[in-house]
Chains A and B, each alone.
Chain A
Amino acid sequence: GDSVTQMEGPVTLSEEAFLTINCTYTATGYPSLFWYVQYPGEGLQLLLKATKADDKGSNKGFEATYRKETTSFHLEKGSVQVSDSAVYFCALSDQVNTGFQKLVFGTGTRLLVSP
């Protein structure tokens, strides 16, 4: 079945450092790809998405490019802030095969940014 693999955390960075969180996927079809963020005590929030190969999703300084050749969707940010500390989840949805938007998640990567 479809699956998502993302790098284990925690990822610890200093403020203004460059961030990369790796995400790769396995899918039989042509899924849409997502990054969700979860701040402490809150639900998951959609951060960005891409629906087809070579699409770039971007939001709040974060970006990720749908790479079909490497089945990857790595999350990047040029300069992180303390307020970016959270857990980040990579996910996919293959609605053509499942019939509805069934999200398949990775295990999450915790990001800790220190001042």
Chain B
Amino acid sequence: NAGVMQNPRHLVRRRGQEARLRCSPMKGHSHVYWYRQLPEEGLKFMVYLQKENIIDESGMPKERFSAEFPKEGPSILRIQQVVRGDSAAYFCASSPRDGLRNEQFFGPGTRLTVL
């Protein structure tokens, strides 16, 4: 059973471009969580999704950021008109269900660099 896949692993964008980060959860997992790690900081929660639904997006910046988890295909974190402050590592995690008994399995992350 393959682990959580994220691509690309490294992404370079110029200011004003769009960044699309993909997360393929583990087989059988229908819950996805996105976290961001800014330089010298811990991971911070961004958004929690189930198939076709955003459950909680309290950690997402109000503008330029959006996330989806369609019925088919990977979860996508989209950042429009990137700025230098968006440079960070973006991690997604998946679980079969939410809750303490269900471990979140993390992907290797996408490192976004904005020039």
Contacts and interface: CB of A to CB of B under 8 A. Distances in A.
Contact of B45 (A32, A43, A104): A104
Contacts of A93: 100
Contacts of B109: 43
A95 B35 contact: no
A61 interface: no
A57 interface: no
B108 A101 contact: no
Interface stretch (B14-22, B36-44, B64-72, B76-84): B36-44
How extensive is the interface on chain B, given as a class? 20 to 34
Interface in A71-95: 89, 93, 95
Contacts of A107: 40-42
Interface string B77-115: 000000000000001010100111011111111000000
Interface in A31-89: 32, 36, 41-46, 51, 89
Given A95-B99, A100-B98, A105 B42 contact: yes
A41 B89 CA distance: 12
A102 B42 contact: no
A89 B43 contact: yes
Interface in B11-36: 33, 35
Contacts of B48: 100, 102
Given A43-B109, A44-B106, A89-B43, A103 B100 contact: no
Given A43-B105, A43-B106, A51-B100, 19 more contacts: A36-B106, A41-B108, A43-B91, A43-B108, A43-B109, A44-B91, A45-B106, A89-B43, A95-B100, A100-B48, A101-B104, A102-B33, A102-B45, A102-B56, A103-B33, A103-B43, A103-B104, A105-B44, A108-B42
Interface of A: 4, 32, 36, 41-46, 51, 89, 93, 95, 98-108
Interface of B: 3-4, 6, 33, 35, 40-45, 48, 55-56, 91, 93, 95, 98-100, 102-109
